[in-house]
């Protein structure tokens, strides 16, 4: 025994030479330690003798002999021993005691004292207060202590000295106390067992009877969750917990939540046999870097076996305790943020200090970050992906190779882009998405704990393999991905074609020359200035097909003419030959990665020719606020084409005021985007705008910054081509707000440093700052700026403040997009055409300074908006999303250019294309369509959510369900399980459900509009959408969803306008979806909203508002009745708020110390 | 002549061994598969098609309940149960403690169907029992597993509740032995038998059945057994609060006496693998040195396929 580092004493005497073998077991679930020891027959033993075990020099237990049995044959004595729990288990409380409302701690102390057991409380809490009418007695002391510990969230065990240690298990998943690694060479064997024997998704808690005056009641509560392992809605696996000591529903709820937290998962038990003493006790958290598991875990049982065969310790990790739950407390944990350009930062939950956690990252533009059980994965905005263990000092780049498509063409890693990541925490497996945006190929790479990896080429069951992956994630059961997909490829030479809309099939024949149209942005203007002409007479014997690229809809008509489909009604417009027709489609593309996406409003087309000879095709925007954007490609199909076969499309370029032959790759440019019949003043992009006299000054008095709009008047030319001036005032005065006061003819905005400035419009509407034209360069900030126009009176003075700068000038405000400040360029006494602006987010501590800067480095920025003011009460917003690169607001030519890191232009919006009704998104990389070379038109449409192979349905009902399979194996194909409008982001909070969200603000004018949110599993009014199926949530007023989480909250209640409260006596449990409303609209505040995840008919409720545009949020998962909640919003650096658990907590800002890069993701370890 | 083994299992490409067992007394059929790798995880649907390349059949469909991986052996063990496990997993606890699941004047087969439906098992067929419960007091079903309750109902009428390989639940009058009128579906030749054991026992014999019901309802049925001393009774007690009619108790006692007042005549055989032999079937076993040809009820069966080949172990009753 001495050679094994073990010493054993019996009543203080070393008996090493007498011990033949022993096995020592201790487990956290029962708190009981046992020892089975075999000694030789010469050992003198007596019942009750104390045996003390020292392993590796540490006393690991004191055990008392309970049974001895001697074998004459073997000459041995077997000793069955138990630690001090033996005396607690044996002690029977023979008297019934009325507890009289005492605390759990008090009565535990009483029982332990009666049982002569030494104890120590590791918590200062008194534990749960027992009901007044509760009685204790006529049962064994162990059972009483265990029950009272259950209610108080405590565990207990007997230490090496035999002292009963009681309290919460203080854990820190971020600071594992030991590492068990394969490389250590100590592991003899390892085993991972997963089973659903302890999976429960419903708990019923019964408590005691409460007198309650004339209406006594029984304490009762029921909680339900849906787990990924649920077979369907009927698959309810129930825990019934009955405890007479529970005296109110709130306690019952809290216990029920703890039970569900503990049991709404499958068992994932890790068992390791290691050589020699372990050196740690139960309850310690370690990091396991092993073949079967990679992540943190808690040691729940130990079994040390010493014999002639050696010393082997078996440790059991992450067991589920049937009788104890929720017994751990949160130690020092961290919240992490990924940023654009500054890597990953973290701060302790109880600290305000941020620290850089980016060591090892070679690309600091973080797109995705996942953390589960101490295992980290992140992706960047290029091909680089990383992983890190909590025990590591730096990130490790993961560079898989072997990306082959279906034709076995290999793709190099550095030509791809990463597309999200996910972690299967049951084994510590990471999945990464990769995509080739040019060739529209995608892969999912799975990295296993052993370091091995597999690569799966994303191929649908129908053979489709052209996907641009957006995001991937896993909940251990399902692996899903979202992607942008190609609906179809129109190949004019194909002999048969059926379009995605099920329209008539046709055979497309290309005209003799295909057009090379710059794919990045083409806007077709109205007929008066933007005619598109086929210069060469093109006579079609049959018909004309129109492909409207941004929508991806394809038209194949049997009649000659020009058609477009009304996407809202799904019907084709009437035959448009020579007539006009309308599409009401508002088209949206969110933050996809390859295109300039344009949203158009109501579009009216007029198709001029009344014959089959098309000589002058025009498009016009009819009515106000209308325009046509998008890319139009004409294909004539049919058997005969008359003409020279070299039809050209001509667009009028408002910048050069010339016709442009688009065949030569010139951009279609927007001319005057609309005409108006409104008497209100339009702000015409492309028209001429004259800034009249505007005087703006500011003073910084040290604590406040006063902005004075002295006078302002704007004249503008309603008709850019006619030259006639129509003067209208678009500038109001008398800005009134919290800190505003009018002085003479001036108005003032006073911004208290460090505070928000509020300005309201008189009509009760609240807007983001209105981009009044300034003639000076002002940089100001307004964290929440709700502006007020006090009236429509015109400022008569036309004096131009010549002291101000001339030319294109800019205002800049912090938190500009939508709800915050705004940046805008105005005229400086000279005319300019259109206008351009870009927003930058500046430090809130920045004082007003003058600047002439009008080119902004937007690295790290996002959501750059161009807002225009139209009329008195209509506001339009333009948003430009740019995750990296540079937006250049170019003076003179009035262009917004998107530049890549190398300064290369990747997109340009020339002229007034950023008009009032257009959202332009400039994602990071623009890829051109290749129209000319291949005669093939790639039409992007209907992004889909991908899942892995559908498996057999468990209900016998048809439909597609996800295969319950956590492994994406090479050769697997994917089933498109849900078509969505946009490629959405994926979030799986805890185990279920998957939440798919995204979309974009689409309405012209006020922010808002449509977005999408889908759940992977849903229970609504008794009907069940199987796990793997999807159902859309009613959009309500949420609009675009920039982020979402699912969390369990105790008794949360709210109204839609006054924020939230926690019910003091909750009687219901809910799993809520939290999401952000990023923008302010007339009716609804920007802020954090929530709704019940499993109540289809629930509505979004306002939770908390924040200044700026909201970007990301995060919740904690376990333990707390009200979870940790985090929110970030626009700022420079981003703003960050934290809500601690507790009914009376409020959000606290922790922005100081954050880097400038915009926050792209917030994460806690999912185990928290 | 050797035959090539065949196995096709959902989510497993390289099985090392397969065990599919089914028994009259078990709630669920069980499949245990060892494999080098698997894509299966908890809750997955699984189907086991096994046998020989020229003669195989689906012997199991169900759900994965446990996945175990051992290193350094690097072997996965997948354990799955048939659909009846849904009823086993489903613990009935009323949402409203004051309004539990209750039914009045309901036939046993209907009640079983409704309770199984709670667990999502709707592919069910129950024959008519003529047993009606809840005449005076509604049958209350609460704080009990769905299968346990249904099994209690089934046992009371001496019937049998099981799930077939297609996932359909049957509630039928099927006794655990061959009866007059049974038609054998397969004949087992002696040359296919590897080992066989024939045994008789009175372990299961009960010649007195007592049924306790509600409100003093009590019934007793007993009969002398030639295998027991005269006047000696081995008693089985059945108790159910929902038995509130004397005739129900009387019939229950009578039926169960008929079912259990007999010897257990067993024939344990290990044979060459044969997918035709499944639980609850009637097969003919040709004459062997220990038994003459007769028709037997397949009381339990285990299909084993592995490196040692394919064998079918069965317990037959007559």
SS3 letters for A605-665?
EECCCCCCEECCCCCCCCCCCCCEECCEEEEEECCCEEECCCCCEEEEECCCCEEEEHHHC
pLDDT greater than 70 at residue A1046? yes
Nearest-CB residue to A477 (from B43, B91, B94): B43
Distance from CA of B239 to the nearest CA of A (A): 24
Contact B120 A232 (CB under 8 A): yes
* Confidence at residue A1121, expressed as pLDDT on a 0 to 100 scale: 64
Per-residue pLDDT at B98 = 77
Neighbours of B250 (CB within 10 A): 16
Write down the pLDDT at residue A900.
37
A205-209, A333-337, A391-395, A1051-1055: segment of lowest average pLDDT: A1051-1055
A553-567, A916-930, A1019-1033, A1038-1052 — most confident range = A1038-1052
Contact A204 B70 (CB under 8 A): no
Nearest to B95 among A193, A222, A290 (CB): A222
Q: Quick one: CA torsion of A632, A633, A638, A639, rounded to 10 degrees?
A: 150
Judgement on whether residues B242 and B197 belong to the same structural domain of the protein: no
Among A445-459, A916-930, B229-243, name the one with the lowest average pLDDT: A916-930
Q: Residue A1132 has what pLDDT?
A: 59
Q: Do A234 and B119 touch (CB under 8 A)?
A: yes
Is the pLDDT score of B162 beyond 90? yes
Quote the pLDDT of residue A100: 66
Residue A946 has a pLDDT of 41
Residue B181 lies inside a defined structural domain of this protein: no
H-run or E-run covering A887 = strand A886-890
- Give contacts of A199 with chain B, Cβ < 8 Å: 42
Q: Which of B41, B86, B93 sits opposite A965 (nearest CB)?
A: B41
pLDDT attached to residue A173 = 81
Contact A873, A862 (CB under 8 A): no
User: To the nearest whole percent, how much of chain B has pLDDT over 90?
Assistant: 75
Over residues A320-344, the mean pLDDT reads 77
Whether B234 maps to a domain, the answer reads yes
In a domain, B180, yes or no: no
Give the Cβ contact number of residue A978 at 10 Å. 21
Average pLDDT over residues A1051-1057: 43
Residue A167 has pLDDT above 90, yes or no: no
What does the pLDDT look like over A223-251, one tens digit per residue?
A: 877 777 777 777 888 888 887 777 777 67
What's the mean pLDDT in A973-1001? 65
Tell me how far CA of residue A1132 lies from CA of A780, A860, A1142, A1154, in angstroms.
13, 9, 30, 9
| Res. A77: pLDDT tops 60 | yes
User: Do residues B77 and B9 share a domain?
Assistant: yes
Q: C-alpha dihedral over A1119, A1123, A1124, A1129, to 10 degrees?
A: 150
B207 pLDDT exceeds 80? yes
Asked if residue B259 belongs to a domain, the reply is no
Give the distance from residue A319's alpha carbon to the nearest chain B alpha carbon, in angstroms.
Answer: 14
Q: Which residues of A fall within a CB distance of 8 Å from B39?
A: 965-967, 969
Q: With a cut of 80, say whether residue A942 has pLDDT above it.
A: no
For residues B265, B269, B273, B278, the Cα torsion angle rounded to the nearest 10 degrees is: 10
Inform me whether the pLDDT recorded for A1013 exceeds 50: yes
Report if residue B157 sits inside a domain: yes
The pLDDT assigned to A192 comes to 93
CB contact under 8 A, B67 and A193: yes
B90: chain A residues, CB-CB within 8 Å: 234-238
B270-280 residue pLDDT tens: 999 999 999 99
Q: Which of A812-816, A1029-1033, A1147-1151 has the lowest mean pLDDT?
A: A812-816
Do B168 and B66 fall within a single domain?
no
Residue B130 and residue B32 in one domain: no
Average pLDDT over residues A186-199: 89
Over 50: is that where the pLDDT of A603 sits? no
The closest CB to that of B43, out of A218, A229, A969, belongs to A229
**Residues A596, A597, A598: CA angle, nearest 5 degrees:** 125
- Closest by Cβ to B42, choosing from A196, A238, A963: A196
pLDDT of residue A582: 30
Lowest mean pLDDT among A298-302, A563-567, A909-913, A936-940: A936-940
Query: pLDDT band at residue A59, thresholds of 50, 70 and 90?
Result: confident
CATH of the domain at B158: 3.55.50.10
Residues of B in contact with A476 (CB under 8 A): 41
Residue A681's pLDDT is what? Answer: 25
B254 has pLDDT over 50: yes
ipTM summary value: 0.83
Residue A1098: predicted pLDDT: 72
Q: Which two tokens stand for residue A252?
A: 């019952």
> Last residue of a domain, which of B24, B52, B81?
B81
Residues B126 and B197 in one domain: no
Judge whether B218 lies within some domain: yes
Does A192 sit within 8 Å of B44, measured CB to CB? no
The whole-number pLDDT of residue A1119 equals 61
Q: Are residues B108 and B163 in the same domain?
A: yes
Q: What is the mean pLDDT of chain A?
A: 59
Q: pLDDT over 90 for what percent of chain A? A: 16
Last residue of a domain, one of B57, B81, B105: B81
Q: In the A/B pair of chains, how many CB contacts fall below 8 A?
A: 113
Query: Which of chain A's residues have a Cβ under 8 Å away from the Cβ of B63?
Result: 231, 954
**Does residue A701 have a pLDDT over 70?**
no
Contacts of B93 in chain A (CB under 8 A): 202, 204, 238, 240
Helix (H) / strand (E) containing A1114: strand A1110-1115
Mean local confidence (pLDDT), A407-429 = 91
A1162 vs A592: which has the higher pLDDT: A1162
* Residue A332: pLDDT band with limits 50, 70, 90: confident
Are B194 and B228 found together in one domain? no
pLDDT for A1104 equals 80
Note the pLDDT of residue A595: 23
A431, pLDDT greater than 90: yes
Contacts of A204 in chain B (CB under 8 A): 93-94, 97
Q: Is the pLDDT of residue A347 over 80?
A: yes
Q: Inter-chain contact B65–A202, Cβ cutoff 8 Å? A: no
Residues of B in contact with A220 (CB under 8 A): 97
Contacts of A231 in chain B (CB under 8 A): 43, 63, 86, 120
Contact between A238 and B91 using a beta-carbon 8 Å cutoff = yes
Q: Which pLDDT belongs to residue A257?
A: 78
Query: Quick one: pLDDT at residue A744?
Result: 29
Residue A664 has pLDDT above 90, yes or no: no
For chain B, the domain total comes to 4
Please give the pLDDT value at position A1012: 66
B312 plus B278 within the same structural domain = yes
Q: Range with the lowest mean pLDDT among A536-540, A639-643, A849-853, B5-9?
A: A849-853
CATH value at residue B50 = 2.30.300.10
Same domain, B221 and B150: no
Q: How far is A290 from chain B (nearest CA, A)?
A: 10
Mean pLDDT is lowest, of A96-105, A205-214, A1026-1035, A1081-1090, for A1026-1035
What's the gap in Å between the CA of A411 and the closest CA on chain B? 27
Q: Do B41 and A220 touch (CB under 8 A)?
A: no
Selected residue with higher pLDDT from B213 and A922: B213
Residues spanned by the domain of B219 = 208-253
| Average pLDDT over all residues of chain B | 92
pLDDT of A630 strictly over 90: no
Q: Is the pLDDT of residue A1059 over 50?
A: no
Higher pLDDT, B211 or A252: B211
Closest chain B CA to residue A291: B71
Residue B286 placed within a domain? yes
**A907 pLDDT above the threshold of 60:** no
Taking residue A572's Cβ as centre, other Cβ atoms within 10 Å add up to: 17
Q: Do A222 and B42 touch (CB under 8 A)?
A: no
* pLDDT tens readout for residues B182-198: 999 999 998 999 999 99
Distance from CA of B158 to the nearest CA of A (A): 28
Q: What pLDDT, on the 0 to 100 scale, is given for residue A400?
A: 96
Per-residue confidence (pLDDT) for residue A1049, from 0 to 100: 65
Distance from the Cα of A426 to chain B's closest Cα (Å) equals 11
With a cut of 70, say whether residue A779 has pLDDT above it.
Answer: no
| Residue among B44, B89, B167 whose CB faces A237 most closely | B89
pLDDT band (50, 70, 90) for residue B136? confident
Nearest CB neighbour to A235, from listed B94, B117, B120: B120
pLDDT at A265: 81
In a domain, B108, yes or no: yes
Closest CA to B217 of B260, B249, B170: B249
Q: Which of A546-560, B126-140, B253-267 is predicted least confidently? A: A546-560
Give whole-number Cα distances, A922 to A135, A518, A628, A905, B305, in Å. Answer: 70, 15, 19, 11, 60
| Average pLDDT of the residues in A894-907 | 38
Q: Is A696 a residue whose pLDDT tops 70?
A: no
Taking residues A408-434, what's their average pLDDT?
92
Do residues B190 and B310 share a domain? yes
**Cα end-to-end distance, chain A, whole Å:** 42
The nearest alpha carbon in chain A to B84 belongs to A235
| Residue numbers in B near A991 (CB within 8 A) | none
Q: Are residues B197 and B302 in the same domain?
A: yes
Q: What is the CATH classification number for the domain harbouring B313?
A: 2.40.30.150
Question: What secondary structure, in 3-state letters, does B170-202 show?
Answer: EEECCCCCCCCCCCCCEEECHHHEEEEEEEEEC
pLDDT digits (tens, 9 = 90+) for A367-388: 999 999 999 999 998 899 999 9
Are B193 and B294 in a shared domain?
A: yes
* pLDDT surpasses 90 at B160: yes
pLDDT reading at A733 higher than 50: no
- Which helix (H) or strand (E) covers residue A150, if one does? helix A141-152
Note whether A235 contacts B95, CB cutoff 8 Å: no
pLDDT tens per residue, range A449-464: 989 998 988 876 666 6
Least confident of A819-833, B30-44, B301-315: A819-833
Q: Contact B41/A476, CB-based, under 8 Å?
A: yes
């Amino acid at each position: 025994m001495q050679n094994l580092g073990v010493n054993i004493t019996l009543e203080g005497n070393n008996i090493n030479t007498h011990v033949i073998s022993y096995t020592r077991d201790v487990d956290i679930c029962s708190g009981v330690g046992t020892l089975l020891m075999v000694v030789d027959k010469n050992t003198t033993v007596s019942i009750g003798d104390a045996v003390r075990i020292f392993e590796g020099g540490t006393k690991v237990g004191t055990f008392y002999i309970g049974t001895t049995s001697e074998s004459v044959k073997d000459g041995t004595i077997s000793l069955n021993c138990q630690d001090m729990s033996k005396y607690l288990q044996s002690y029977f409380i023979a008297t019934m005691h009325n507890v009289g409302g005492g605390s759990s701690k008090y009565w535990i102390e009483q029982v332990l004292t009666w049982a002569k057991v030494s104890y120590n409380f590791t918590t200062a809490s008194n534990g749960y207060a027992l009901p007044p009418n509760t009685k204790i007695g006529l049962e064994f002391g162990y059972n009483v202590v265990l029950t009272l510990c259950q209610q108080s969230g405590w565990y207990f065990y007997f230490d090496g000295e035999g002292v009963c240690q009681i309290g919460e298990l203080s854990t820190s998943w971020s600071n594992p106390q030991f590492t068990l690694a394969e490389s250590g060479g100590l592991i003899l064997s390892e085993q991972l067992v997963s089973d659903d024997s302890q999976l429960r998704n419903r708990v019923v808690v019964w408590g005691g009877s409460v007198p309650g005056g004339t209406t006594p009641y029984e304490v009762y509560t029921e909680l339900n969750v849906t787990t990924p392992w649920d077979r369907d809605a009927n698959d309810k696996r129930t825990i019934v917990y009955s405890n007479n000591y529970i005296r109110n529903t709130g306690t019952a709820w809290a216990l029920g939540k703890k039970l569900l937290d503990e049991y709404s998962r499958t068992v994932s038990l890790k068992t390791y046999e290691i050589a020699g003493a372990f050196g740690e006790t139960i309850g310690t958290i370690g990091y396991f870097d092993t073949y079967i598991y990679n992540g943190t875990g808690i040691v729940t049982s130990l079994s040390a076996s010493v014999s002639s065969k050696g010393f082997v310790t078996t440790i059991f990790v992450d067991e589920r305790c049937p009788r104890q739950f929720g017994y751990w407390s949160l130690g020092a944990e961290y919240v992490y943020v990924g940023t654009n350009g500054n890597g990953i930062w973290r701060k302790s939950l109880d600290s305000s200090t941020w620290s850089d956690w980016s060591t090892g990252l070679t690309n600091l533009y973080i797109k995705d970050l996942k953390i589960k059980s101490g295992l980290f994965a992140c992706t960047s905005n290029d091909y680089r992906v990383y992983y890190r263990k909590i025990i590591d000092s730096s990130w490790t780049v993961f560079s898989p190779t072997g990306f082959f498509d279906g034709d076995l063409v290999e793709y190099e890693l550095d030509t791809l882009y990463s597309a999200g990541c996910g972690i299967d925490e049951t084994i510590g497996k990471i999945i990464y998405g990769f995509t080739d945006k040019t060739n529209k190929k995608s892969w999912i790479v799975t990295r296993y704990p052993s370091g091995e990896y597999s690569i799966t080429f994303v191929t649908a069951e129908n053979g489709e393999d052209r996907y641009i992956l957006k995001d991937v994630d896993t909940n251990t059961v399902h692996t899903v991905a979202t992607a942008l997909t190609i609906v179809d490829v129109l190949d004019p030479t194909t002999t048969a074609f059926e379009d995605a809309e099920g329209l008539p099939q046709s055979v497309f024949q290309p005209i003799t020359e295909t057009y090379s149209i710059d794919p990045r942005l083409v806007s077709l203007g109205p007929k008066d200035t933007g005619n598109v002409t086929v210069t060469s007479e093109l006579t079609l014997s049959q018909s004309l097909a129109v492909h409207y690229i941004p929508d991806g809809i394809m038209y194949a008509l049997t009649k000659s003419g020009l058609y477009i489909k009304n996407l809202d009604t799904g019907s084709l417009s009437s035959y448009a030959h020579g007539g006009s027709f309308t599409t009401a489609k508002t088209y949206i593309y969110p933050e996809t990665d390859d295109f300039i996406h344009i949203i158009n409003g109501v579009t009216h087309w007029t198709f001029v020719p009344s014959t089959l000879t098309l000589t002058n095709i025009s498009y016009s925007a009819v009515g106000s606020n209308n325009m046509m954007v998008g890319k139009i490609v004409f294909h004539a199909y049919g058997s005969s084409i008359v003409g020279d076969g070299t039809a050209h499309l001509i667009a009028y370029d408002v910048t050069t005021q010339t016709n442009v032959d688009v065949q030569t790759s010139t951009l279609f440019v927007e001319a005057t985007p609309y005409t108006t019949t409104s008497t209100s003043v339009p702000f015409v992009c492309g028209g001429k705008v004259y800034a009249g006299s505007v005087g703006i000054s500011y003073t910084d008095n040290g604590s406040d910054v006063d902005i004075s709009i002295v006078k302002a008047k704007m004249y503008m030319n309603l008709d850019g081509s006619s030259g006639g001036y129509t003067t209208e005032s678009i500038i109001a005065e008398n800005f009134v707000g919290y800190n505003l006061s009018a002085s003479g003819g001036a108005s003032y905005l006073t911004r208290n440093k460090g505070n928000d400035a509020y300005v309201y419009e008189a009509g009760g509407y609240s807007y983001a700052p209105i981009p009044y034209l300034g003639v000076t360069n002002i940089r100001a900030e307004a964290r929440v700026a709700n502006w007020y126009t006090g009236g429509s009176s015109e400022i008569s003075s036309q004096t131009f403040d010549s002291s101000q700068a001339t030319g294109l000038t800019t205002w800049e405000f912090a938190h500009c997009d939508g709800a915050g400040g705004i940046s805008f360029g105005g005229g400086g006494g000279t005319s300019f055409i259109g206008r351009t602006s870009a927003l930058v987010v500046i430090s809130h501590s920045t004082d007003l300074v003058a600047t002439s800067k009008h080119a902004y480095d937007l690295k790290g920025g996002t959501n750059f908006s161009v807002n225009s003011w139209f009329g008195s009460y209509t506001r339009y917003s333009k948003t430009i999303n740019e995750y990296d690169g540079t937006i250049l607001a170019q003076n003179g030519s009035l262009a917004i250019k998107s530049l890549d890191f190398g300064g290369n232009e990747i997109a340009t919006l020339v002229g007034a294309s950023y008009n009032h009704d257009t959202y332009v998104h400039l994602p990071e990389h623009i890829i051109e369509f290749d129209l000319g070379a291949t005669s093939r038109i790639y039409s992007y449409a209907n992004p889909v959510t991908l899942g892995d192979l559908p498996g057999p349905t468990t209900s016998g009902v048809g439909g597609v369900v996800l295969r319950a399979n956590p492994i994406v194996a090479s050769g697997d194909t994917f089933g498109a399980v849900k078509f969505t409008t946009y490629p959405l982001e994926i979030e799986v909070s805890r185990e279920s459900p998957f939440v798919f969200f995204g979309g974009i603000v689409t309405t012209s004018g006020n922010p808002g509009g449509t977005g999408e949110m889908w759940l992977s599993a849903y229970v609504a009014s008794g009907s069940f959408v199987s796990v793997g199926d999807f159902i859309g949530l009613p959009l309500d007023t949420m609009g675009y969803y920039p982020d979402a989480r699912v969390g369990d909250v105790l008794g949360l209640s709210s109204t839609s306008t006054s924020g939230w409260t926690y019910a003091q006596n909750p009687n219901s449990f809910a799993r809520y979806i939290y999401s952000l409303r990023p923008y302010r609209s007339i009716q609804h505040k920007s802020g954090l909203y929530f709704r019940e995840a499993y109540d289809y008919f629930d509505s979004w409720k306002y939770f908390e508002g924040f200044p700026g545009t909201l970007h990301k949020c995060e919740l904690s998962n376990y333990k707390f009745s009200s979870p940790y909640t985090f929110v970030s919003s626009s700022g420079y650096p981003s703003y960050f708020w934290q809500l601690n658990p507790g009914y009376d907590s409020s959000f606290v800002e922790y922005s100081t110390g954050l880097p400038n890069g915009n926050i792209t993701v917030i994460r806690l370890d999912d185990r928290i | 002549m050797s035959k090539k083994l065949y196995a096709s299992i959902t989510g497993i490409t390289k099985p090392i061994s397969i065990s599919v067992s089914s028994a009259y007394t078990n709630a669920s059929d069980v499949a245990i598969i060892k494999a080098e790798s698997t894509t299966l995880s908890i809750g997955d649907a699984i189907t086991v098609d096994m046998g020989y390349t020229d003669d195989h059949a689906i012997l199991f469909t169900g759900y994965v309940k446990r996945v175990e991986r051992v290193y350094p052996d690097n072997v996965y063990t997948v354990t799955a149960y048939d659909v009846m496990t849904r009823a086993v997993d489903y613990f009935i606890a009323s949402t409203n403690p004051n309004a539990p699941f209750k039914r009045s004047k309901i036939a046993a087969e209907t009640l079983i169907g409704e309770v199984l439906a709670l667990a999502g098992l709707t592919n069910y067929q129950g024959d008519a029992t003529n047993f009606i419960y809840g005449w005076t007091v509604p049958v209350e079903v609460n704080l009990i597993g769905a299968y346990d309750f249904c099994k209690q109902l089934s046992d009371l009428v001496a019937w049998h509740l099981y799930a077939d390989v297609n996932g359909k639940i049957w509630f039928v009058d099927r006794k655990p032995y061959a009866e007059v009128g049974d038609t054998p579906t397969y004949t087992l030749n002696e040359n296919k038998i590897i080992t066989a054991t024939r045994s008789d026992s009175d372990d299961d014999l009960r010649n007195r059945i007592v049924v306790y019901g509600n409100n003093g309802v009590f019934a007793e049925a007993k009969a002398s057994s030639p295998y027991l001393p005269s006047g000696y009774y081995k008693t089985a007690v059945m108790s159910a609060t929902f038995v509130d009619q004397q005739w129900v108790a009387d019939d229950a006692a009578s039926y169960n006496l008929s079912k259990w007042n007999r010897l257990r005549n067993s024939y344990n055989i290990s044979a060459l693998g044969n997918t035709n032999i499944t639980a609850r079937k009637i097969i003919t076993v040709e004459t062997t040195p220990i038994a003459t040809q007769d028709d037997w009820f397949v009381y339990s069966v285990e299909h084993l396929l592995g490196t040692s080949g394919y064998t079918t172990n069965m317990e037959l009753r007559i």
